[in-house]
Structure formats: structure tokens, C-alpha cells
């Protein structure tokens, strides 16, 4: 295995390091470096190609829940609870219960809802 590493630039007390290594170990290596830095007490952020910080959904919406996602998507599509319930074949009160957190969204239901909105079911779990 051949790997290359160099310091690319230094500015404002920060240094950019470039690592070139086989693609099949790139993700594991990046994860290991991220873990080491985190264990050392450093906050590690992802950045895009323009070197801008990428924020996670949880950072932007810390109180976001599957119930709120369901309510938001239904509202975006301008669907009543009743109309959406008919679309996925359940009773309207089940939609209400899921949106208020009284009823958990099961894996099967998440898949049905995700398919109805053409989004990943994982956002409802």
C-alpha cells in the first residue's frame, strides 16, 4: 500500500494536510482520523468543496422529530390528515397520533410514508 501525506498550507494558526491513499481504505482512514481528533478533544466538522462548513440536520433543527417531519411534509404537499390517511390506507386519527407523538412511526409505516412523499423512510425513524 502506498500513501502520501503533506502539509498543503498554513494560515491563521491552522494547517491543511493532504493525504493520498488507496480508495478502498479512504473512508475507514477518514473515520479513524475523525475519531482520534474527537478523542483528543477537538471538534471536527465536515466541509464542502468550497471549504464551507456543512451542518447536519440535527445541528440546524435540534428539536426536529419524525412527527414534525411528517407534519411538515404533509403541509408542504397541502394535504389534510384525512387526505393523506386515505393515500396511505390508514385512519385519519393515526396520522394525528403520529404527528403529536402519541403513536410511534413503525418501520413499516415509515416506509409507506416515505414512498408517499418520495423521500427516504429513514427520516421518520
Q: What is the DSSP string of 5-46?
A: EEEEEEETTEEEEEEE--GGGHHHHHHHHHHHHHHTT----E
Contact of 123 with 69, CB cutoff 8 Å: yes
> Global pTM?
0.59
Q: What is the pLDDT of residues 24-36, one digit of tens each?
A: 999 999 999 999 9
Q: What percent of the chain has pLDDT over 90?
A: 83
What are the structural domains, with CATH classification, of the chain? 4-54 (no CATH), 66-124 (1.10.260.40)
Determine the average pLDDT of the residues in 31-59.
91
Once rounded to an integer, what is the mean pLDDT over residues 10-34?
92
Whether pLDDT at 115 is above 80: yes
Q: Which H helix or E strand runs over 121? A: none
Q: Is the pLDDT of residue 17 over 80?
A: yes
Confidence of residue 18 (pLDDT cuts 50, 70, 90): very high
Look at residue 58 and tell me whether its pLDDT is greater than 90: no
What is d(CA 124, CA 95) in angstroms, rounded to the nearest whole number? 13
User: Over the chain, what is the mean pLDDT?
Assistant: 93
Residue 57 has pLDDT above 90, yes or no: no
Amino acid at each position: 500500500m502506498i500513501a502520501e501525506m503533506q502539509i498543503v498550507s498554513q494560515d491563521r494558526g491552522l494547517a491543511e494536510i493532504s493525504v493520498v491513499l488507496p480508495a478502498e481504505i479512504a473512508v475507514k482512514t477518514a473515520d479513524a482520523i475523525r475519531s482520534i481528533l474527537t478523542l483528543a478533544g477537538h471538534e471536527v466538522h465536515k466541509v464542502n468543496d468550497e471549504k464551507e462548513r456543512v451542518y447536519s440536520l440535527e445541528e440546524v433543527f435540534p428539536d426536529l422529530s419524525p412527527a414534525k417531519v411528517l407534519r411538515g411534509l404533509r403541509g408542504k404537499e397541502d394535504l389534510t390528515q384525512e387526505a393523506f390517511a386515505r393515500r396511505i390506507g390508514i385512519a385519519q386519527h393515526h396520522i394525528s397520533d403520529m404527528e403529536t407523538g402519541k403513536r410511534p412511526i413503525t418501520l413499516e409505516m415509515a416506509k409507506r410514508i416515505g414512498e408517499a412523499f418520495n423521500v427516504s423512510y429513514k427520516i421518520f425513524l
